[in-house]
Structures are given as C-alpha cells and as structure tokens.
Structure 1
Amino acid sequence: MTYALLIIPFAIVTLIVTLATVRRPAFGRRMGSSAIAALVLVVLTAVFDNIMIAVGLFTYPPEHLSGIRIGLAPLEDFSYPVCAAFFVPAVFVLSSRGRRA
C-alpha cells in the first residue's frame, strides 16, 4: 500500500467531521484559524522532517511514495498535520454541544 492511499481515510474523516460543524457558530472564523494553523504545521513539518531525514533518523521506501518532495520530506508527510489542523477543532466544537465554546 502506498502512503497516498493510507492518507485517504484520514482525509475523508476530517472532511466529514469538519463539514458536520458547518451550521455551528463561527464556522468561517474557525476555518480561517484552522488554515493558519495548517500553514504553521506545514512549515514546522517541512523544517523538522527535513532535518530528521537528513540526519538519518528515518527513511521512506521510494516505491510507496508519490515522488513529490519538499526538500527531503515526501509530500505525503504533510497531509497529517493539515488534517489535524481541521479535525481537532471540529471535534472540539462537536463535543461541546450545549456548552458555550
């Protein structure tokens, strides 16, 4: 299995959970904040994954990658922080039903 295929269920769950919060208050503001958080996480991932790969802490089998890289880090590495930036706030909003967030 390739890493790109492994990402699909995480992305689908993130999309479903995030869309479940569309009618909740401040959805647009939350999406803006999530986008900023995703950008920060992508930058941090780019910096630290490149460092860790460069010093040999881990490698990826090339046959499981798309071949697209940002420095030494495969593109697939960036999907999890992006999903987290949208998924975590959405879960928080859904779990705070009836309470003021």
Structure 2
Amino acid sequence: MAYLWLSLAFMVPAVLSAVLLRASIHWGAVALSTVVLLSLTAVFDNVIIGLDIVRYGHEHLMGLYLGLAPLEDFSYSLAGVLLLPAAWHLLRRRRPTEPGRGAEPVAERVTD
C-alpha cells in the first residue's frame, strides 16, 4: 500500500486545486488531455514493465492492474493533468502588468 499513499500525496493537492479553480479551467481540454495521457501511460507502462525495465514490489501495491501496469501508476498522470492548468492559471494571474495598460498585448507599428 506504500504506492497508494505516495499517489495520494500527488492526487489530493491536484484535486483540491482543480476544485478551487474549476471556473477558470477549460474542462474540454482537460478531458482530452486526460484521455491522451492515460492512454499513453497504459501503453508505455506496460512496455517498460514487460521489458523488465521497471519492477514493483507487489507487497506495496493495491493489487489492481491494467495489463501489467499497477493502477497507482495512472494517478501521477491524472494529477499532472489536473495540477498543471491550475498552476498555469495561478501563474498567469500573478504576472504584473504595466500601469495604464491592459493585459492584452499592444501591436507595434512597423515603419519602413
């Protein structure tokens, strides 16, 4: 169960940040990213486990697998998909703007 606790250390902050910023997150993009990233995780985790590049101590796992990949491996991908849009939103909000200017860029006039 050690991997489950490690997964929760990533999932809890990710879910909390997504819930707190739910109105600011584009959920269609999150859904598409989740499908793509979980699919890639399923394929490549099974490959690296099948090739014996990575080996898990089964006594530390929940015992649920998708192919050869333990279910805990998918939590890291899901946490990233939830946490990155929240971090992006928070970092964009904190960016200072010049006094008297809006947040949108101003087009410069090009002279020949």
TM-score > 0.5, shorter chain as reference: yes
When Rg is computed on C-alpha atoms for both structures, the one with the higher figure is: 2
Pairwise CA RMSD of aligned residues? 1.6
Return the match for 1:73 from 59, 69, 93: 69
Q: What is the CA–CA distance in structure 2 between the aligned matches of 1:91 and 1:19, rounded to whole Å?
A: 13
CA offsets 1:25-70 (integer angstroms, 9 cap, x no match) = xx3xx12211211111111011011011111101100000011101
Q: What is the CA–CA distance in structure 1 between the aligned matches of 2:23 and 2:82, rounded to whole Å?
A: 16
SS in 2 for 1:96: helix
1:23 CA drift (Å): 4.1
- Unpaired runs of 5+ residues, structure 1, are none
Does residue 45 (structure 1) correspond to residue 41 (structure 2)? The answer is: yes
Are the equivalent residues in 2 in contact too, given 1:46–1:70 (CA < 8 A)?
yes
1:7 CA drift (Å): 1.1
TM-score by length of 2: 0.78
The structure richer in helix per residue is 1
Identity between Structure 1 and Structure 2 (%): 36
Count residues with an aligned counterpart: 96
- The answer to which structure, 1 or 2, has the higher relative contact order (CA under 8 A, 6+ apart) is 1
SS in 1 for 2:63: coil
Counterpart residue number, 2:18: 18
Runs of 4+ in 1 over 3 A off after TM superposition: none
TM-score by length of 1: 0.85
1:22 CA drift (Å): 2.9
